[in-house]
Structure 1
Amino acid sequence: MVRVLVTRPEPGASRTARRLETLGFQPVLLPLTETSALPAEVTIGGDPVAVAVTSANAVRHAPTALIAALANLPCHAVGKRTAEACRAAGFVSVTDGPGDAEALADTIAGGLAGKAIVYLCGRIRFPGFEQRLAAAGAHVQAIETYDTVGIDYGDADVVARLSDHPVEAALLYSVKASAALVKLITRPALQHLFEKTEFLMLSARVAEPLDRVAGRRIQIALQPDEDALLALLSQPR
């Protein structure tokens, strides 16, 4: 059975593991990051006309009072999974986006010139979404609801989790996790676990940290969502 390394944080890691088992793969969980709530402001300024969310973690960690204050505004989610999290959190009108933050900005920017939008987000994020909206004349109030931090594993911890057996594939969802994995796979005590691993990436940006060390063993999903990422596992190897 093909062993697949899952590097995303919980609770997503366990959800992905269940999907892999259903597809006939053996998941190996090694979350390289974890998320935690930040004290988020509840005061909303600028009379916003909409809310944007580019990560399910942003609503998962948002204070109840903040969600309540925004729940009746149109909510633009980056993709299907984030949209589901927004609906579960209490947003009344949620629109599924194209799966990519910059593409979402391009989709909604036309109606936001001179208007305000609340952006629920993490402390660490790619600036392209806000930059594109600002360039279109939108007033973006970014409210950081969570932080993402790396998990530091010792060599023995990694070997124990992988049972000292190589993994055939690794799933990467974020730049931070990709950079963390580079540090692991270049350690002398761990190199043998990743010598033939194929690295499956959610996007080209996620792949950048691994480019120099993984080379031709990198594959990039056709769309920045988990369905497209898992579809890479069915390709001949």
Structure 2
Amino acid sequence: MAGRVLVTRPEPGASATAARLKQAGYEAVLLPLSRTVALPVDLEAVHGPFDAVAVTSANALSHAPRELIDMLSRTRCLAVGARTAKAARDAGFAAVDNGPGDAAGLAQAIVAELPAGARIAYLAGRVRMPDFERHMREAGFALQAIETYDTDRLQPSETALRDLLENDAPDAVLLYSAKAAEAFAMLAHAHPRLAAGALLCLSPRVAASLQGLEGAHIFTAATPDEDALLARLAAASPAVS
């Protein structure tokens, strides 16, 4: 067994990650510390037509109302990476571009491909970094952000926490969002051995939420996707073994 890995992402992604970890020889322990919830979208406030739809998270598609997808699905979709591009195709978008894997790279690709002044619908979460929108507007694009979901912090049940603490401490923890990292930091302050292993973060923003954990072994994925995160987990071995 290559190590005990705590997975903090919510379902349905948590079980998919656990299956990948099991296939790689790890023992996965699920403890979701965040959840995504759909937000109501005022369709009358969506001011189309648009030249393109930009998406930096698959959650923005999975939580979007069907009516919104139907309004936009014939418009070219510019997705941040492979997972989001697949979600766009599954949702019904006919023309989908697979981006470079991060929001900054997607912004650069849009600037290179579309004329300034192009109108872009940006499907996004309420909690997000401002860089993509700022880059688009500075480059002269007319961007409308449409918030389709929010991310909440979750407090694990007493039973789940007790079961976790009664067994061996995790060798590694996978952290996918700033909200989950904040929740984990609170738990780790109360139960320090939870943070004794490698803390593997999807992005620098996620890692920043752990800075209050003194002496923690914090690692960041090379790119903000699960493939890179699991590669970072493998690179953390033999510490995770």
Fold in common (TM above 0.5): yes
| Aligned counterparts, 1:87-126, within 5 A | 87-110=89-112, 111-126=114-129
- Asked if the contact 1:164/1:193 (under 8 Å) is kept, the reply is no
- Asked if the contact 1:41/1:143 (under 8 Å) is kept, the reply is no
- Assess, with a 3 A threshold, how the Cα gap between structure 1 residues 214 and 11 changes in structure 2: closer, same or farther: farther
Partner residue in 2 for 1:182: 185
Percent identity for Structure 1 against Structure 2? 49
Partner residue in 2 for 1:25: 26
For the pair 1:219 / 2:230, whether they are aligned, the reply is: no
Partner residue in 1 for 2:149: 146
Q: Distance in 2 between matches of 1:100 and 1:87?
A: 19
For the pair 1:208 / 2:208, whether they are aligned, the reply is: yes
Q: Secondary structure at the match of 1:210?
A: coil
Structure 1 residue ranges without an equivalent (≥5): none
- RMSD over aligned Cα atoms: 1.6
Amino acid in structure 1 at the alignment position of 2:119: A
- How far 1:164 sits from its partner (Å)? 3.3
- How far 1:215 sits from its partner (Å)? 4.2
Q: How many residues align?
A: 234
Q: Deviations over 1:173-223 (max 9, x none)?
A: 111211111111001xx22333x2101111222111213315461111122
Q: Distance in 2 between matches of 1:162 and 1:119?
A: 42
For the pair 1:83 / 2:85, whether they are aligned, the reply is: yes
- Asked if the contact 1:29/1:161 (under 8 Å) is kept, the reply is no
- Asked if the contact 2:199/2:216 (under 8 Å) is kept, the reply is no
What is the TM-score when the length of structure 1 is the normalising length?
A: 0.93
Q: Secondary structure at the match of 2:64?
A: coil
Amino acid in structure 2 at the alignment position of 1:234: A
- Asked if the contact 1:112/1:136 (under 8 Å) is kept, the reply is no
Amino acid in structure 2 at the alignment position of 1:12: G
Partner residue in 2 for 1:62: 64
For the pair 1:134 / 2:137, whether they are aligned, the reply is: yes
What is the TM-score when the length of structure 2 is the normalising length?
A: 0.91
